[in-house]
């Protein structure tokens, strides 16, 4: 049964029979008659600034609404979505709407939900809808004049319930609480403040969340365990070992102005353990960039570590990132930092220089280690070169 069509017909019948407009119920009213004429819009120079600001806001809403709605229904129908093609379609529709004095065109989540709930599965639905509207404007502009607006509201609200993906929210709650609260905040912002301010709040909160993760990324002290190849986080595997005097530290983010101080403080904290490490080896594969602020921090850090008798070393640092460091021409970094292609190569060099081997660690396996903490012992050694 076409429930939406039935609701519209029953609503018009009830409005006409009960004289709802005379009793204060708002109705759609008469539509403008005739096909909108082709008109070239004339814009004065003084209006350009105001139009640009409005156009940017409309663009933001159109982009967010179109991509999110298209992606949501593409998943349900198992169809691919080409974001660029969607934008081409929206742009062409807006150009034509502007030439016929129409409103700005965008995807509508509520109208899409109504059409999908009614059984629409292709663009033919839009074509039929456009022809029906054109027919109403030309032939019968008064046909929907008594349709109560609350009926339209009820149709939209009922259809919009299908957009609320409660299982997805539950999944976010179980997977990542931060993402869940971001989704709730975005929903409330749109509901309370309106579409454009709500989207702005959602985008702002998402950017802040990304900045927060970059400012304090995941960090770990790494070690080896017999029978388990590779280097692993000591926080989760307390039986890991290291060579005496060697601390392997991993920092899972690019180094830039926001987290440079965090990196420096953690390295300094590791250098303050007793006995003092000879090398602090940074597993640098996750470090995809180093900006000038971070480079200046490294120069100061290397100088401080030299005073303590500790050497800073990088393993698996990307050649592009190392090239940036060298281009900054910081002598303290270029001359006093050791570079190795792999962690195993660094381990071999350390073993050759100090005559040590993988075995009982002489620094705390607890992360982060408190300054002056008591050395911990651990499991039997393993060959780092296997």
User: Is residue 88 included in any domain, yes or no?
Assistant: yes
Task: Judge if 125 and 64 occupy the same domain.
Answer: yes
The proportion of the chain whose per-residue pLDDT surpasses 70, expressed as a percent, equals 90
Phi, psi at 107, each rounded to 5°:
-65, 145
User: Is residue 19 included in any domain, yes or no?
Assistant: yes
Query: Rounded to the nearest 10 degrees, how much is the dihedral formed by the CA atoms of 293, 298, 299, 300?
Result: 90
d(CA 162, CA 156): 10
d(CA 149, CA 129): 19
d(CA 271, CA 278): 9
Task: Judge if 231 and 345 occupy the same domain.
Answer: yes
Task: Judge if 14 and 132 occupy the same domain.
Answer: yes
Task: Judge if 145 and 63 occupy the same domain.
Answer: yes
Report H helices in the chain: 3-18, 45-77, 83-99, 109-117, 124-138, 149-160, 166-175, 177-193, 195-215, 260-271, 292-308, 319-327, 331-336, 343-354
User: Is residue 342 included in any domain, yes or no?
Assistant: yes
Task: Judge if 209 and 222 occupy the same domain.
Answer: no
Nearest CA to 205 among 222, 188, 219, 220? 188
Q: At 312, is the pLDDT very low, low, confident or very high (cuts 50, 70, 90)?
A: very high
Count CA within 13 A, CB hemisphere, residue 386.
10
Q: What is the CATH number of the domain that holds 241?
A: 3.30.750.24
DSSP 163: G
> Total domain count for the chain?
3
Do 297 and 260 form a contact (C-beta atoms < 8 A)?
Answer: yes
User: Is residue 373 included in any domain, yes or no?
Assistant: no
User: Is residue 330 included in any domain, yes or no?
Assistant: yes
Q: At 14, is the pLDDT very low, low, confident or very high (cuts 50, 70, 90)?
A: very high
Cis? peptide before 93, omega within 30° of 0:
no
Task: Judge if 31 and 110 occupy the same domain.
Answer: yes
d(CA 120, CA 77): 11
Task: Judge if 38 and 119 occupy the same domain.
Answer: yes
Q: At 370, is the pLDDT very low, low, confident or very high (cuts 50, 70, 90)?
A: very low
Task: Judge if 159 and 169 occupy the same domain.
Answer: no
User: Is residue 368 included in any domain, yes or no?
Assistant: no
Task: Judge if 209 and 240 occupy the same domain.
Answer: no
Nearest CA to 371 among 307, 313, 308, 315? 308
Tell me if residue 224 falls in helix, strand or coil.
strand
Tell me the pairing of strands 246-251 and 279-283: parallel
User: Is residue 227 included in any domain, yes or no?
Assistant: yes
Do 371 and 272 form a contact (C-beta atoms < 8 A)?
Answer: yes
Task: Judge if 123 and 239 occupy the same domain.
Answer: no
Residue 315: pLDDT over 90: yes
Task: Judge if 152 and 170 occupy the same domain.
Answer: no
Strand partners, 157: none
Do 258 and 216 form a contact (C-beta atoms < 8 A)?
Answer: no
Domain encompassing residue 37: 3-164
Mean pLDDT for the chain overall: 82
Higher pLDDT, 113 or 181: 181
Q: Give the 3-state DSSP-derived string for 11-52, with helices as H, strands as E and coil as C.
A: HHHHHHHHCCHHHCCCECCCCCCCCCCCCCCCCCHHHHHHHH
pLDDT tens digits, 96-125: 888 888 888 887 777 787 788 778 888 888
Task: Judge if 230 and 102 occupy the same domain.
Answer: no
Gyration radius from the chain CA atoms: 32
pLDDT tens digits, 33-79: 787 888 888 888 888 888 888 888 788 778 877 887 888 888 888 88
pLDDT tens digits, 260-289: 999 999 999 999 888 889 999 999 999 999
Cis? peptide before 368, omega within 30° of 0:
yes
d(CA 118, CA 6): 11
Residue 363: pLDDT over 80: no
């Amino acid at each position: 049964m076409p429930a939406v069509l039935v609701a519209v017909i029953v609503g018009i019948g009830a409005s006409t029979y009960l004289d709802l407009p005379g009793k204060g119920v708002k109705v759609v009213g008469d539509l403008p008659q005739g096909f909108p004429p082709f008109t070239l819009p004339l814009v004065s120079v003084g209006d350009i600034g105001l139009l640009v600001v409005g156009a940017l806001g409309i663009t933001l809403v159109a982009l967010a609404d179109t991509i999110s709605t298209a992606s949501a229904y593409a998943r349900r129908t198992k169809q691919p979505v080409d974001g660029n093609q969607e934008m081409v379609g929206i742009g062409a529709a807006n150009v034509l709407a502007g030439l016929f004095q129409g409103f700005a065109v965008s995807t509508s989540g509520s109208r899409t939900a109504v059409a999908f709930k009614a059984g629409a599965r292709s663009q033919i639905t839009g074509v039929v809808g456009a022809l029906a509207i054109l027919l109403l404007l030309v032939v019968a502009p008064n046909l929907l004049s008594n349709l109560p607006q609350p009926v339209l509201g009820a149709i939209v609200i009922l259809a919009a319930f299908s957009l609320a993906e409660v299982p997805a929210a539950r999944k976010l709650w179980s997977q990542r609480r931060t993402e869940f609260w971001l989704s709730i905040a975005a929903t409330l912002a749109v509901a309370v403040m309106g579409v454009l301010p709500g989207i702005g709040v959602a985008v702002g909160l998402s950017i802040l969340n990304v900045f927060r993760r970059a400012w304090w990324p995941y960090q770990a002290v790494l070690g080896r365990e017999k029978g388990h190849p590779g280097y692993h986080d000591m926080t989760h595997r307390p039986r890991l070992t290291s060579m005496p005097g060697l601390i392997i530290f991993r920092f899972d983010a690019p180094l830039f102005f926001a987290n440079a101080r965090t990196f420096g403080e953690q390295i300094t904290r590791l250098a303050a353990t007793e006995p003092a490490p000879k090398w602090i080896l940074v597993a640098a594969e996750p470090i995809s960039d180093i900006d000038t602020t971070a480079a200046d921090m490294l120069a100061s850090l290397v100088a401080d570590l030299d005073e303590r008798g500790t050497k800073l070393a990088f393993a698996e640092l990307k050649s592009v990132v190392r090239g940036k460091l060298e281009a900054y021409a910081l002598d303290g970094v270029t001359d006093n930092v050791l570079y190795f292609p792999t962690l195993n190569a660094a381990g071999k060099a350390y073993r050759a220089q100090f005559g040590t081997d993988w075995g009982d660690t002489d620094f705390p396996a607890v992360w982060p280690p408190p300054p002056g903490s008591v050395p911990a012992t651990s499991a039997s050694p393993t060959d780092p070169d296997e």
